């Protein structure tokens, strides 16, 4: 049963790694960084009037909040995918939600998740390098 769980979770983590790679986390983080740097430049600027600075900073802070909420939603989607895959495991006869959940929080489960994510990104890098 443990081998089936390992194989199932490896496939699940590979799918979640693909989803995490597809979701624009880095693009959103770069937008947050850009807005933060813009706010810093606005604060340091002596040519911009204080009332104009307030408007610019308010717009930037709302943008940062929007993109931060977007990152939280992306993370929630990945967690929901994991929970969905754990619930679907009922259809594979020896597996169940409790067994897989307990396995995930063990040291073996953590190592498996790290290996699966590293495997996905290594395979992706190899595919991009050697494709014709």
pLDDT tens digits for 97-123?
A: 888 889 989 999 999 999 999 999 999
What gap in Å lies between CA 91 and CA 99, rounded to an integer?
Answer: 14
What gap in Å lies between CA 53 and CA 109, rounded to an integer?
Answer: 50
State pTM to two decimals.
Answer: 0.78
pLDDT digits (tens, 9 = 90+) for 16-32: 999 999 999 889 999 99
* Angle CA 79–124–86, to nearest 5: 25
At 15, is the pLDDT very low, low, confident or very high (cuts 50, 70, 90)?
very high
Question: Is 12 exposed, middle or buried, given 0-12, 13-18 or 19+ CB atoms closer than 10 A?
Answer: buried
pLDDT digits (tens, 9 = 90+) for 47-97: 999 899 999 999 999 999 999 999 999 999 999 999 999 999 888 878 888
Q: For the stretch 31-63, what's the b/e string if a residue is b when 16 or more beta carbons lie within 10 angstroms of its beta carbon?
A: bbeebeebbeebeeeeeeeeeeeeebeeebeeb
Q: pLDDT value at position 132?
A: 58
User: 20: which 2 tokens?
Assistant: 């995490």
3-state secondary structure of 46: coil
For the chain, the structural domain boundaries read 2-130
């Amino acid at each position: 049963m443990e081998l089936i769980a390992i194989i199932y979770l490896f496939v699940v983590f590979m799918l979640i790694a693909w989803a995490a790679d597809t979701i624009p986390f880095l693009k959103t983080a770069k937008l947050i960084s850009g807005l933060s740097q813009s706010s810093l430049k606005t604060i340091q600027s002596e040519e911009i009037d204080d009332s104009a600075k307030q408007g610019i900073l308010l717009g930037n802070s709302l943008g940062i909040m929007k993109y931060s909420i977007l990152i939280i939603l992306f993370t929630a989607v990945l967690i929901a995918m994991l929970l969905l895959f754990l619930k679907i495991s009922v259809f594979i006869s020896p597996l169940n939600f409790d067994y897989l959940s307990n396995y995930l929080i063990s040291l073996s489960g953590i190592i498996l998740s790290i290996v699966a994510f590293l495997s996905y990104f290594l395979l992706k890098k190899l595919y991009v390098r050697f494709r014709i």
